[in-house]
Structure 1
Amino acid sequence: MCLFCCRIFERRMGSRKFSSYLLGTCTIATILEICTVMLLSQFDIDYHNGGYLPPGLYGLIFPLYVNYFLDIPRIAVSSFIGVPLTGKTVTYLLGLQVASTSQATIISSLCGLVAGIIYRKNIFKVQRWLVVPRFIAKSFDKLFGWLLNSSEPKYKQMGATLELQRQEQTDILEQQYYYNRTQEFRQQRGQGYSERLVDDGVNADGILGYFLRQRQRPTENLEPSQENIQILVDMGFEHARAVEALRSSSNDLETATSILLRQ
């Protein structure tokens, strides 16, 4: 589950760079674990089950938490007794559960975190030395690429976390619902407005592209017009809410309708 939550990094880095990252962090984590066991043995401290650390993917998982903490945005979802809960909280709790199994797992987990910091900061130029050779990457790509490759996502802008991806899917469904409402409105009021509203066709790509351009379009501070207010009222929205949405969107009808649908 922890690896699944960190799958975004392979898409960001690319397969070769990501495999080099795993190779480097696992190597560094293994060296740190050996040094830690040797150091504890000098002081006759046995936190590691008679000289052995527990086997597992600690050197693979916990270095990813460094990038996960620094690169994945923190989006507040709710709070519990004053402590904010975000979309990343569950991932941190999973890692904490894995790390807190025993004293030996704590040592392995800490070594993994330190390995992630060393590789990210490129201390001792580790990113230059611990890298997967290009010919090996090409060989594996030819042997297994056909089995693991998949088609590109339909929408290029993809959120880093599952929560962001769900929000993007919700926005697309919301925009499609907006389009259906305007189609119904056109049948009642005649053509003109909806054709001006959707200029890229009736497919989802056109709808999404239109709204992305509308968000980037500069607006001026304009008072709501009676025509736009009446259009929103005819679409089923309350008069007061329509005026407030138009005022907050500088009399932009499309943005105001999106605001009302979100509410």
Structure 2
Amino acid sequence: MGAGTCPCQHGAVTTAATDGRALARLATLLADDTRATICLALLDGRAWTAGELARLAGVAPSTASDHLTRLVRGGLLVEERQGRHRYLRLAGPSVAQLVEDLAGHAPGRPEPARSLRAARAGAALAYARTCYDHLAGRLGVLLRDRLLAQGLLDGVGGLALTPAGLGWLDQLGVPVAPLRSARRPLVRDCLDWTERRPHLAGALGAALCDRFLEAGWLTRGTGRSLRLTPTGGPALAAALGLAPADLAPDATPDTGGGRA
């Protein structure tokens, strides 16, 4: 080190360069159509076999295996082996947030659907889907808006659960104590890649999605998509202070000014 060089400045430059290289390696992992497609599919929160992911991405099993190995080594996926099968899933909620946030910041609009089936699948995903372990899509954004509008969440200075929200969760059958002890934020925003507005994530977002599925208000569709059930529509609407018609895919309910 030459005379007049400050050790702390030298260390800062070295750290920045190291962090820059690490960020570049991470970006390279997702800068591939096949690997990006795989990560988006795994946002459903479930474990997929390597063969299923190969078919989804439209590549040969050997090609998919190479991509999956890179994603595992890069820390974005974890794998479990059961017999001859290799199961893969996202490494955790933080990875899911990264993928969803990047998708939300992707420039331009999605390519138009090339078939009626693809159009219906796209509409189903845009309406309601899982974002790893919480509710996303138009229904997920509406959930966040209504919790804010009803005073169940406080959006001033960041999201926070209110006393009224605690009572609402108790009526819904969602215990809060385990959520507070979870090794993740209780409530946080997650940018929705179709709505381009935040939906509710964190331990609370995951617990609500689980509760809606457990109660039969929502059911899983194809891939990540979720569907309201005939009994779930009225029940969820009542819980959010809306009319059942407000939850229709083409409805534009009054959110009560709950945007934050």
- TM-score scaled by structure 1? 0.21
Which is strand-richer, 1 or 2? 2
Which is helix-richer, 1 or 2? 1
Whichever of the two has the greater Rg, that structure is 1
- TM-score scaled by structure 2? 0.21
